[in-house]
Amino acid sequence: MANLTELRGQLDDRREKAAALFEKAGEDMNLTPEEATELKNLNDEMSDLGEKIDEQKSLEDMKTKVETLGKTQEHPGHIQPGETKEARKADNDETKPIGDLFIESEGYTGWQRGMKQGPVANLNIGLKNLFETAVGWAPPDIRGPRVVDFATRPLAVAELLPQSTTTAASVIYMEETLFSNSAAEVAEGAIKPEVSLGLTERTEPVRKIAAFLPVTEEQLADVPQARAYINNRLGFMVRQRLDSQILVGDGTAPNLAGLQDNSRTGLQTQALGGDNVPDAVYKAMTKVRVGAFSEPNVAIFHPNDWQTVRLLKTSDGIYIWGAPMDAGPERIWGIRVVQTTAQTENTAFVGDFQQAGLVIRSGVDLRITDSHSDWFIYNKLAVVAEMRVALCDYRPAAFCTVTGI
């Protein structure tokens, strides 16, 4: 059986061959069937060699431990090679009482009456009671500053939209709802064709998203880290809810009307049907281009649905979205892919996110009060986080939901 060094050499050789094939294929993965088969065989060989290396390393570690355990241990009653009787006596002296050691020492036996100063007594005194953690002070526990956040959905959607501000309780804007272009070529002296334009006033209400956390005055006063932690997490919770509302808010007050709200007149839909996911997404992009004359720039997927796309292979086993050793492009048909569990599973969402806007009446405000019920007499406080926003979908037809994926 090959040793560890030989196995590692074989693995490096396979890696170099695979790297050469990938470099030859380029970004488009332009491989012949023979090269694709060779690449698959190399990948299988590298996996097999990796397992063999792990097994061989485990065996060598076990051999080292067995050899260590098989060595002869020293017996405490025998004088070991290189050890003198004097050293052994010194070791034994450590167990004698201090009085016996003094009587047997040269300092006592060599002293004579009338001597002003006798010989020095050298006592080999061992430690009888070691002052250690078990009988002394245990070291204090010091907690580090890090707080491991709860695993929850990160923010991903709000930053996709253009953002502006308002000081009003609602956002009012005009939409061009009539555009009749009769422009045409005319002969000299002929009548010019008339065109038509019309505007409709639209209103989006400002909605509030809020949360509060009860906390004691002692917690905020005694733990400096607590205030920053609470402010950060409450603000995150409000923004996380906003992400969800932007996508799937149902529009029933006080909810926002999300971009996928079916009450949005003009919102388009593309069913998967007999297509694969990439084909259905491209058809949705075409609907946005044709139905809204907009250019789609983002596709939103639930992670479980994007997994299906990422793992697509050719008939000969080549990954279309990149080899497993690569991070892979988070794009489809050239547009950005955003993965978030805020998106309804089995449904993708494609659109031109420049055709919507987030209008902020007030950002995340944080306040503390003790006026909640009778909390004042209990030294309890309410930490409140809230924001007020309006979501404007200026062109619903610029978005298309892909269903059934």
| Under 8 Å between Cβ of 82 and 33 | no
Q: What is the pLDDT of residue 405?
A: 93
Q: Kindly state the greatest CA–CA separation across the chain.
A: 151
* Residue 76 to residue 164: CA distance in whole angstroms: 83
* Residue 195 to residue 179: CA distance in whole angstroms: 8
Q: What is the pLDDT of residue 379?
A: 87
Evaluate whether residue 295 is within a structural domain.
Answer: yes
Q: What is the pLDDT of residue 293?
A: 96
Evaluate whether residue 273 is within a structural domain.
Answer: yes
Evaluate whether residue 153 is within a structural domain.
Answer: no
Residue 80: its H or E element: none
Evaluate whether residue 120 is within a structural domain.
Answer: no
For the record, the structure tokens of 287 come out as: 């609907």
Evaluate whether residue 178 is within a structural domain.
Answer: yes
Supply the DSSP string of 334-364, one letter for each residue.
Answer: TEEEEE-TTSPTTEEEEE-GGGEEEEEEEEE
* Residue 186 to residue 163: CA distance in whole angstroms: 45
Helical packing angle, 33-69 and 4-25, nearest 10°: 160
CB atoms near residue 121 (< 10 Å) = 16
* This model's pTM is above 0.75: no
In degrees to the nearest 10, what's the CA dihedral of 47, 51, 53, 56?
A: -160
For the record, the structure tokens of 264 come out as: 């949005």
Residue ranges making up the domain that contains 359: 158-183+193-403
Q: Tell me, what CATH number does 244's domain have? A: 3.30.2400.10
Evaluate whether residue 290 is within a structural domain.
Answer: yes
Backbone angles phi, psi at 365, to 5 degrees: -100, 140
Placement of tokens 């050890």 in the chain: 83
pLDDT in tens, the chain (405 residues): 677 788 878 878 887 887 787 777 766 667 787 877 887 787 778 778 777 877 777 777 777 766 665 555 555 455 555 555 555 555 555 556 656 666 666 666 666 666 666 676 665 655 556 667 777 777 888 888 888 889 999 999 999 999 999 999 999 999 999 999 999 999 999 999 999 999 999 999 999 999 999 999 999 888 888 888 999 999 999 999 999 999 999 999 999 999 999 888 999 999 999 999 999 999 999 999 999 999 999 999 999 999 999 999 998 989 988 888 887 779 999 999 999 999 999 999 999 999 999 999 999 999 998 887 678 888 899 999 999 999 999 999 999 999 999
Evaluate whether residue 74 is within a structural domain.
Answer: no
CB atoms near residue 403 (< 10 Å) = 15
Evaluate whether residue 267 is within a structural domain.
Answer: yes
Q: How many domains does the chain have?
A: 1
